[in-house]
Amino acid sequence: MRPHLDVVPSGRQLEQILFQMVTMQSRHGQAANLSLAVMLAKLSREYSWIVIDCPPVTKEAQLLALCAARWVLAPVSTGDSSSIDGLGGVSHRFEETAHLNPDLELLGAVLFGFVHRYYTDRKTKEKRPVGMWVQARERIQALLTEAGSDAPVFQAVIRDAEGVAVNCKDRGQLSYEIAEASDGIKWWQKKRGETGTVLPTERAEEVGRDYEDLVVEIVERVTQVEREEALAA
Q: Residue 185's pLDDT is what?
A: 57
Q: Supply the range of the domain harboring residue 185.
A: 161-233
Q: Residue 16's pLDDT is what?
A: 78
pTM of the model: 0.82
HSE (side-chain half, CA atoms, 13 Å) at 101: 25
Asked if residue 192 belongs to a domain, the reply is: yes
HSE (side-chain half, CA atoms, 13 Å) at 32: 16
Q: Residue 72's pLDDT is what?
A: 92
Q: Tens digit of pLDDT for each residue in 101-157?
A: 999 999 999 998 888 887 887 787 787 878 888 888 888 888 888 878 889 999 999
Which tops the pLDDT comparison, 2 or 211? 211
How high is the mean pLDDT of the chain?
A: 83
User: 120 — phi, psi (to 5°)?
Assistant: -105, 120
In contact, 159 and 114? CB cutoff 8 Å: yes
Asked if residue 71 belongs to a domain, the reply is: no
Q: Residue 82's pLDDT is what?
A: 58
| Total residue length of the chain | 233
Looking at residues 198-224, what average pLDDT do you find? 89
Asked if residue 124 belongs to a domain, the reply is: no
**Centroid of chain to Cα 154:** 11
The tally of domains found in the chain comes to 1
DSSP per position, 137-199? HHHHHHHHHHTT----EEEEEEE--HHHHHHHHHHT--HHHHHT-SS-B-HHHHHTT--S-B-
The CA-based angle 116-117-121, given to 5 degrees, is 140
How many Å apart are CA 70 and CA 200, to the nearest integer?
A: 36
Q: Residue 212's pLDDT is what?
A: 94
Asked if residue 185 belongs to a domain, the reply is: yes
Burial environment of residue 136 by CB neighbours within 10 A (0 to 12, 13 to 18, 19 or more): buried
Q: Tens digit of pLDDT for each residue in 36-92?
A: 999 999 999 999 999 998 876 678 888 899 999 999 998 887 655 556 666 666 777
Asked if residue 175 belongs to a domain, the reply is: yes
53-76 in b/e form (b: 16+ CB < 10 A) is ebeeebebbbbbbbbbbebbbbeb
Asked if residue 36 belongs to a domain, the reply is: no
Q: Residue 144's pLDDT is what?
A: 85
Nearest to 104 by CA among 140, 148, 73, 141: 73
Looking at residues 196-217, what average pLDDT do you find? 85
How many Å apart are CA 42 and CA 186, to the nearest integer?
A: 48
Percent of the chain with pLDDT over 70: 86
How many Å apart are CA 183 and CA 171, to the nearest integer?
A: 12
Burial environment of residue 49 by CB neighbours within 10 A (0 to 12, 13 to 18, 19 or more): exposed
Q: Residue 223's pLDDT is what?
A: 94
Asked if residue 201 belongs to a domain, the reply is: yes
Check whether 163 has a pLDDT greater than 70: yes
Q: Residue 210's pLDDT is what?
A: 93
Asked if residue 172 belongs to a domain, the reply is: yes
